[in-house]
Amino acid sequence: MASRNIVKIGSATLRKKSKPVLSFDEDLGALLDDMKNTMIERRGVGISAVQVGILRRAIVIELDEEEDEFLEIINPEIIKTRGSVVASEGCLSVPGFYCDIERPKYVKIKAFDRHGKPFEFEAKDYIARCVCHEIDHLNGVLFVDYTDEGKAYKKEQGVE
């Protein structure tokens, strides 16, 4: 597993919509492994392929640090949400900035694993927040886009 560079706010790459994964092969497995390693090294809890410069719909989320449990999500689609909660968020691509964001309290997605096997996944609270945050990345959306505080930060940094 290699570590990759994180694409930072201000890069046009982060604003592009990622394309579906079509090949569930060794290259995808290597990408997912590299994403996981990169996320762990940078002490993140979620990462999307676009954050390492690859415009594909792939995500890795840490489910349990103590159990070394991770969720790999390929071509995710949100099929249900419920409730809402406001909590602080940060991002590997926006280092050092945090702000409160409203997200669903519960989310259900359908996706594929690294081998192309379809599955559904339900998450609540913190993991639901992570799933939504990372899916936003796949659509070219950053958490700083949602609040006045985030918009002020972007202006202050001279980025879109």
Alpha-carbon distance of 6 to 9, in angstroms, equals 10
Q: How many Cβ atoms sit within 10 Å of the Cβ of residue 62?
A: 19
- The catalytic residues are 134
Q: Tokens 């079509």 appear where? A: 22
In 3D, which of 132, 93, 87 has the Cα closest to residue 109? 132
Of the candidates 5, 121, 100, the residue with the CA atom closest to the CA atom of residue 54: 5
